[in-house]
Amino acid sequence: MSPAKKSRPPISASVEALIEMLSNLIQAIFLGGYYAMIACGLSFMFSVMRIINLAHGSLAILSAYLLFVLASKFGINPFVGLLIVIPLMAAVGWLLQRYLLDRSARGGELLPVLTTFGLGIVLDNLMFQRFGADTRSLAPYIGDLSWDSYTLPGGLFVGKLQILILVTVISVIGALQLFLRRTQLGRSIRATAMDPDTAGIVGIDARRASAAAAAIAMATVALAGAFLGMRATFDPYSGAPQLLSAFEATVIGGLGSLWGTLVGGIILAVAQTVGASVHPQGFLLGGHLAFLLVLFFRLYLNRDTVLAWFKRRQA
Amino acid sequence: MIRTFAIERWTPASRIGFVAIAIVIAALAAAPAMLNGGTLDRLTALFVYVMLAAMWNALAGYGGLVSIGQQMFFGLGAYFTVRLADAGINPFASTFAAAFVVAGIAWAVSYFMLHLKGGEFAIGMWVLSEFTHLLINLDRLIQGETGTSLISMNAYGADIRRTALYLVALAAMVLLLGILYALLRSKSGAAIQAIRDNELAATSVGVDVIQTKRKLFVLAAFGIGLAGALWLCSALTFQPKTYFSVQWTAYMIFMVLVGGIGKFEGAIIGAVLFFVIETWFGAAGVWYLIGLGMAAVIFSLYFPKGIWGAIEQRFGVTFLPIGYRLRILGDRK
Amino acid sequence: MTHLTLESLDVRHGQLKAVKDVNLSIAKGEIVALVGANGAGKSTLLRAVSGAHKLTSGRIALDGKDISGLQSFQRVKAGVSLVPEGRKLFQEMSVEENLVLGGISGRDGSWTVAKIFEAFPNLLKRRNAKAATLSGGEQQATAIGRALMSNPSVLMLDEISLGLSPAAVDLVYASLTAVKTGTTIVLVEQELTRAMQFATRIICMLEGQFVLDRPGQDVSREEITAAYFGKRGGAH
């Protein structure tokens, strides 16, 4: 799909290698931006409700399918379709929290894991039932945007869609931070996350705050699903890999930090790219390995353990 | 006035229950003489399901460790069986040996993963499982997703193989349940239940939380690994995707949630129920899976104690008691 | 009409009956001090009135209207505000954020963030400090300010002297005295002297029940102490 190569002056092999590395790095940054998009909703839900929603990926795929139906059946451009799907998914989030998650969270920390896992399975298989096993994509419906790119000096290409995704995710995360810090609803959501009992005593409707948070998280999921469909393909069982990527990006960047999902996403993408360059099967392996290493270092090499290790050495 | 009492571990219902269970096991052992090959195969599957349910229940219901990655040990059990059999070891012996290898891996992994909490642990194990799956695919013997077969099993005739596998699976299931039951009735068992009720309080009375969880984690891995190995002996083919599929955890969750989480009898009931449903509805394709998922959601929300939990609450019956009872014998002046 | 009425209130704490068949009528502007030993049921009672704790049976009425079925945040909107035991500030938020959140119920009234800082001047320089970094006295002032922001008609305070130095307690009570103008107050206070100084009515609780309920001027220290420990002759 690359445009005809213009004639260039001969460059030395090492510079070419450097350019290729740079190109991979740029691609990784943009991929990281996508990971942040799918991850920020997960991170947001976790910070606010201490729930990891295992149906998160499946809900993104659901959004993608909704946009697909709107595009293929009604000819609605996916970007326009988002005007319908984002509020729809937000409503789904509200209902989910109000009637499913709120109840299961009261049963303890573990129950939401089981409930959302079951939900994910139901969603995946319902989508399979409805849409079949074929992989789909939203790329045909966004015209030139799916492959259009800018050319940078040195022959590097940067896709317009990729830029759009990165810019969107940065805006979304920035907006979320502002929302949490500056609005009364945002403050209520943070307070409910810190101490739901006291939140009520102060006058906060904790259930409404949680439902609002879930709605916001699902809105980001809708965006993520849209972007996935535009930049790649999806099928009914794509939810699980999306969930794992989102989770890995969240953890690498630090649980509870929204900007961390961007950092984590980029690190994850870079690790995957490095893995792919080492071995043909190495893409996913590289990502998982990075995740496990970050976990290891975070668990064992925090300040206290390092100090204790030094003390034992001296003794 | 002195009130006398006795501390008992068994109830009349449980004594009956134990005798009943012994009879059932004896009957199952004698079954090959009476049932045909196809039925034996299905029963072997049932035994595997019971093992899976009991182990996931041990981990989640007793240890409070919900893991979405237990399929990792299922796959590893099968994988090491293939490898050991390929190295020339008798396939049946390989299954047990493989289970021990899996237990060793779990022991090492636990130093790492057990520091994670709640949802992090759940998905962390899933990531670890995917990671392991990818690594296994790199083994040239496995040839990626093409997979390979447990060739050395073909040395046995089909009938002998079926019967031998049936008996080995039955023995494995009884052994595993026995170990788990003994563990739960021991001091470790009390520690486990203390941790489940209140981890901080348990620490304050001297329970080593991490060590206790480690025991459960390793036992569960051993059991699930053995289950995977036995499944391989029955299915004969090893395609990593099948064994490392998160579907297995979905089955385990269903069995335990519906049967009764944290109840020994519950896991067994859940496995039997799952087996029955699978036999009848397995051919329904995705609707079967949707049904399983919905059941998991509904039970987790509305019947968190599962079927056995409801029975226990209603009738106050315990067949396999783990705790202690105080029975007041009478008053004396 | 009484301002706050409790009828046959029963509140359970797990299997334990923490509040047994309590009846209480408080008139507008009264300042009621609840005294009693630890575990007598004072905190549970306040929490039950605020909605943080479920009633087992009985009825709570505010200005004659039954509020027993309302959730805690709805009761704040109705005008019942609690300063909980242990302050329970939102630790990661600043003083100002905690105060602003206190006004979320949107009740009419004169309290604003600026006025709170006037009433508690020691908080002004700490307005952007995270609640976790505040001293005990500053935390207590913030907690009271947060409750005041809801413009309550009934203000309940649970053990505000707990963990504070005597000087800090003095400050808190001085500020409270300045702000209390006309608000109905129910406070749990362990220090008998303060309770008698501040309140117009003393109620002593023992094992979930009221064993003494007298106007502040009509009762002696000895009588209260007797009721406190359950010696006979304390009930009215």
pLDDT in tens, chain A (315 residues): 445 555 556 667 788 888 888 888 999 999 999 999 999 999 999 888 788 899 999 999 999 999 999 999 999 999 999 999 999 999 999 999 988 888 887 777 778 888 999 999 999 999 999 999 999 999 999 888 878 888 887 778 888 999 999 999 999 999 999 999 999 999 999 999 888 889 999 999 998 999 999 999 999 999 999 999 999 999 999 999 999 999 999 999 988 889 999 999 999 999 999 999 888 888 999 999 999 999 888 877 765 666 666 677 665
Q: Which stretches within C72-165 are classed as H helix?
A: 72-78, 95-102, 113-119, 136-148
Kindly determine whether residue A122 and residue B118, on different chains, have CB atoms separated by under 8 Å. no
**Paired tokens of B123:** 């998905």
- Choose from A46, A54, A117, A295 for mutation: most chain B CBs within 10 A: A117
DSSP C122: G
Select the residue of C97, C105, C150 nearest A187 (Cβ to Cβ): C97
For residues B302-313, average pLDDT = 80
DSSP output for A159-206: EHHHHHHHHHHHHHHHHHHHHHHHSHHHHHHHHHHH-HHHHHHHT--H
C185 bridge partner residues:
C31, C155
What part of A 99-128 touches B (C-beta under 8 Å)? Answer: 100, 103-104, 107, 109-115, 117-122, 125-126, 128
Contacts of B297 in chain A (CB under 8 A): 100, 115, 118-119, 122
Q: Is B328 helix (H, G, I), strand (E, B) or coil?
A: strand
Residue B22 pLDDT > 80: yes
Tell me, what's the pLDDT at C168? 86
User: Alpha-carbon torsion C214, C220, C224, C226, what sign?
Assistant: negative
pLDDT of residue B102: 97
**Residue A223: closest CA among A52, A35, A38:** A38
Q: Lowest mean pLDDT: which of A68-82, A136-150, B20-34, B247-261?
A: B20-34
Residues in chain C: 236
Q: Which residues of A touch C92 (CB under 8 A)?
A: 190, 194
The upper half-sphere exposure of residue B152, i.e. CA atoms within 13 Å in the direction of its Cβ, equals: 15
pLDDT for C234 equals 43
Test C84 with A198 for CB contact under 8 angstroms.
yes
Residue C123 lies in a domain: yes
pLDDT tens profile A74-105: 999 999 999 999 999 999 999 999 888 888 87
- Judged by CB atoms closer than 8 Å, whether chains meet at A200 and C51 is answered as yes
Residue type, A234: F
pLDDT digits (tens, 9 = 90+) for B96-107: 999 999 999 999
Task: Residue B284: count other Cβ atoms within 10 Å of its Cβ.
Answer: 12
Does C235 fall in a domain?
Answer: no
Reference A34, options A217, A220, A176; nearest CA is: A220
Answer whether A203 touches C (CB < 8 Å): yes
Range of the domain at C205: 4-229
Distance CA C153, CA C186 (A): 11
> What chain A residue is nearest to B261 in terms of C-alpha separation?
A111
- How distant, in Å, are the alpha carbons of A113, A167, A205, C146 from that of C104? 32, 34, 10, 10
**Does the pLDDT of residue C177 top 70, yes or no?**
yes
d(CA C185, CA C5): 13
- B325 Cβ partners below 8 Å, 6+ apart? B7, B8, B9, B11
Residue C29 resides in a domain:
yes
pLDDT at residue A48, as a whole number: 80
Average pLDDT over residues C39-58: 90
Residue C164's CATH number: 3.40.50.300
Name the nearest CA neighbour of B224 among B257, B180, B259: B180
pLDDT of the residue at C235 = 47
Tally of domains in chain C:
1
Q: Which of A1-5, A169-173, B146-150, C187-191 has the lowest mean pLDDT?
A: A1-5
B209 torsion bin: left (phi>0), alpha (psi -120 to 50), beta (else): alpha
Location of structure tokens 């799918």: A38
Quick: pLDDT tens for B113-122: 988 887 889 9
Nearest to A202 among C76, C91, C92 (CB): C76
Measured CA to CA in angstroms, residue B312 lies from B253, B269, B301, B320 at distances of 20, 13, 19, 11
Quick check: B333 pLDDT over 60? Answer: no
Nearest CA in chain B to A51: B119
Average pLDDT over residues B78-91: 90
Instruction: Collect contacts of A156-162 with beta carbons under 8 A, ≥24 apart.
Output: A156/A19, A156/A22, A156/A23, A156/A26, A157/A2, A157/A23, A158/A26, A158/A30, A159/A30, A159/A231, A161/A230, A161/A231, A162/A27, A162/A30, A162/A33, A162/A231
Residue-level pLDDT at C236: 45
Diameter over CA atoms, chain A: 74
Nearest to B250 among A121, A126, A244 (CB): A121
CB distance B297–A288 less than 8 Å?
Answer: no
B136-150, B288-302, C134-148: range with lowest mean pLDDT: B136-150
Query: Beta strand pairing status for B237-238 and C80-83?
Result: unpaired
Mean of the pLDDT values across residues B81-87?
90
Whole-angstrom distance, CA of residue A273 vs CA of residue A266? 10
Q: What share of chain B in percent tops pLDDT 90?
A: 35
Interface partners of chain A (CB pairs < 8 Å, 3 or more) are B, C
Q: Which residue of C has its CA nearest to A208?
A: C73
Nearest Cβ partner for A240 among B119, B246, B286: B246
- pLDDT more than 70, % of chain B: 93
Structure tokens, A121: 């399975």
